[in-house]
Amino acid sequence: MKSVADIAACAAQRRTPRTRADALRNRERIVTAAREMFVEFGPDVPLDEVARRAGVGNATLYRNFPDRSALIHEVVLAVTSRTIERAQEAVAAEPDPFAALSRFVHAAAGERIGALCPMLSGGFDSTHPELLTERRRLEEAVEGLVERAMSAGRLRTDIAVGDVLVALSQLTRPLPGIACPDIDRFTHRHLQLFLDGLENPARSELPGSAATLEDLRSGR
């Protein structure tokens, strides 16, 4: 027969996984809500509005993220990680290298990767090791897509991976205050125009020089 202590210990073990699962779900809901609201209204949206959309109390939000910078850090990390997954999925789903690149570009738009730009300024620590690691993984994934398409003769040779990343950032960056579902049709339409311009053979001569990853990192 179990003692009172044994029964209490079993009850505690049953509660702990459930508590941890609930806490994890709350954290994920906060990050999802923050991502949506940062895209719609910019990174300065009131955090109590983020909590309200996530369906949690302010105390729960601040218990997970003590300040705005911590929440932005997690949102940037989540968007970057999900975008890497979209690149991996594109490679697995599309045997044609240019089709894989095209699939990734449209999928990255769905992740609102362009919305990261206004969040990477001010007091935000963009050199955090965790973020640098994910950024390198994303760069490597996109670089692989570009190199495969170029090696297959499907991508014009006067561009570089930086051109793809810059265009993707610019064309998927919504204007604050505009609901994203209303501009999706324009975003994907303009992305397709961009992708058509990347195909080989090139239809025109590009001004300037190709944008490399080194150019983006140095801010040139």
Give me the pLDDT at residue 46, please: 95
Separation CA 65–CA 48 (nearest Å): 12
Give me the pLDDT at residue 125, please: 79
CA atoms in the 13 A half-sphere facing the CB of 154: 16
Q: pTM higher than 0.95, yes or no? A: no
Separation CA 150–CA 146 (nearest Å): 6
Kindly state the tokens that stand for 75. 């949102």
> Exposed e or buried b for every residue in 175-202, given b needs 16+ CB within 10 A?
eeeeeeeeeeeebbebbeebbeebeeee
| Share in percent of the chain as helix, strand, coil (round to 5) | 70, 0, 25
Please state, rounded to an integer, the average pLDDT across all residues of the chain: 84
